[in-house]
């Protein structure tokens, strides 16, 4: 038995150091290479931080592109989804209310043309991105309010569209915060 305890204790200590010290230091070192040095990529305007590129924000003014709804009201301290199923009556009422609100603010859009991501919250409640289709469907409203040609706004959306990772993995996305900041420079 003595022959087994000593190696088990040594192995436990080696793994403890490896998993509790070395691995976290390696991950932290790699994170330093990421945008923001592992603390998140901040988005600034005029030297003032206005948000984080990886955390969604609420845009309610019609002159801005609206992001994806949030089940946690964009609170990064407590991310999460609504945990309500697609047949839950309360959830269906919430989605229908979002559809009705969207249609009021975007006249001329048919319900069937609204991308699902504009009326359903993401799993984290903090999704900062939309699909190009979800951004483009909002262009007529913004163009009308800002008195800008729609083609200029479509070009802006296209310029802020990020393709799939390595051209293969995931969908094309548009960061709503960065798009709205670019929109502010058009005026």
Q: What is the pLDDT of residues 44-94, one digit of tens each?
A: 777 787 777 778 888 888 899 998 888 887 777 777 777 788 888 998 999
By mean pLDDT, which of 37-41, 71-75, 84-88, 112-116 is the weakest? 37-41
* DSSP class of 111: G
- pLDDT score of 104 more than 70: yes
pLDDT in tens, 130-163: 999 999 999 999 999 999 999 999 999 999 999 8
Residue 39 or residue 21, greater confidence: 21
10 Å CB burial of residue 91 (0-12, 13-18, 19+) is middle
Q: C-alpha distances in angstroms, 153 versus 29, 35, 92, 131?
A: 40, 27, 32, 15
pLDDT value at position 62? 87
pLDDT value at position 187? 66
DSSP string, 136-184: HTTHHHHHHHHT--HHHHHHHHHHTEE--BTTTBS--EEEHHHHHHHHH
Q: Which residues of 159-171 are buried (b: 16+ CB within 10 A; e: fewer)?
A: ebbeeeeeeeeee
pLDDT in tens, 154-170: 999 999 999 888 888 98
In residues, how long is the chain? 187
- pLDDT score of 125 more than 80: no
Mean pLDDT of the chain: 87
Cβ(82)–Cβ(91) below 8 Å: yes
10 Å CB burial of residue 59 (0-12, 13-18, 19+) is middle
pLDDT value at position 81? 74
pLDDT value at position 113? 93
């Amino acid at each position: 038995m003595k022959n087994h305890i000593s190696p088990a204790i040594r192995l436990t200590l080696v793994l403890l150091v490896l998993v509790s010290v070395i691995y976290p230091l390696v991950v932290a070192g790699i994170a330093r290479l990421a945008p923001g040095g592992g603390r998140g990529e901040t988005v600034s305007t005029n030297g003032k931080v206005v948000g984080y590129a990886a955390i969604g924000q609420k845009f309610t003014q019609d002159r801005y592109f609206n992001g994806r709804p949030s089940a946690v009201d964009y609170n990064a301290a407590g991310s999460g989804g609504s945990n309500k199923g697609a047949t839950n009556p309360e959830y269906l009422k919430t989605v229908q209310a979002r559809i009705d609100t969207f249609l009021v603010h975007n006249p001329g859009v048919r319900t069937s043309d609204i991308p699902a991501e504009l009326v359903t919250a993401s799993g984290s409640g903090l999704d900062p991105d939309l699909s190009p289709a979800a951004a483009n469907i909002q262009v007529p409203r913004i163009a009308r309010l800002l008195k800008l040609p729609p083609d200029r706004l479509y070009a802006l959306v296209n310029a802020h569209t990020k393709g799939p990772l390595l051209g293969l993995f995931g969908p094309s996305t548009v960061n709503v915060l960065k798009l709205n900041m670019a929109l502010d420079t058009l005026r």
